[in-house]
Amino acid sequence: MNAMLEPQIELLPMNPSDLNEILAIEYRVYPFPWGRGNFVDSMNSGYSCWVCRVAGELVGYFVVMMAVDEAHLLNIAISTKHQHKGFGARLLRQAMHVAQTAGGAILLLEVRPSNEQALSLYRHFGFKQIGVRRGYYPAEGGREDALVLTHELAEILA
């Protein structure tokens, strides 16, 4: 295949000019989305915030917070029209790499039990469930638990 025909894929640090595109995705993929302030606060706090662009179009993003030697994946999303094309795996791999490079020994995340697509991706990458946070997420008609998953980052670059 001619390399000139393949779209250019870029993983870049998030910046404020990305926010309108990020929010468009966030509000489409999550029933209880983050607001602009959540992303601004994350960038201002020095969290690792990244976007994935394909031929210039923003297709996904993630936010990782470091706490000593533990990384916490706070948010990750792929636009609905670009799901099932490997971008979620690419972003998760980048999040793990960024966390490990920053000194993280483990990557921790919460996920809704009803988010089967995300659970499948995390299990494919070897994440293990270590707990449940009861009533963690807002949900239609109440609250939904969160499964707490973790991955030892030493395994990814060893």
Q: Tens of pLDDT along the chain (158 residues)? A: 445 566 788 999 999 999 999 999 999 999 899 999 999 999 999 999 999 999 999 999 999 999 989 999 999 999 999 999 999 999 999 999 999 999 999 999 999 999 999 999 999 999 999 999 999 998 888 999 999 999 999 865 54
Q: What is the 3 state secondary structure string of 47-107?
A: CEEEEEEECCEEEEEEEEEEECCEEEEEEEEECHHHCCCCHHHHHHHHHHHHHHHCCCCEE
pTM beyond 0.75: yes
Domain extent for 43: 3-157
Cβ distance 92 to 121 under 8 Å? yes
Number of structural domains in the chain: 1
Joined together, the tokens standing for residue 128 give 């293990």
Rounded (to 5) percent helix, strand, coil in the chain? 35, 40, 25
CA distance 45 to 74: 13
Cα atoms in the Cβ-side hemisphere of radius 13 Å centred on 158: 6
One-letter amino acid of 112: R
One-letter amino acid of 121: L
Q: What CA–CA distances, in Å, run from 22 to 67, 118, 125, 156?
A: 25, 18, 24, 28
CATH code for position 11: 3.40.630.30
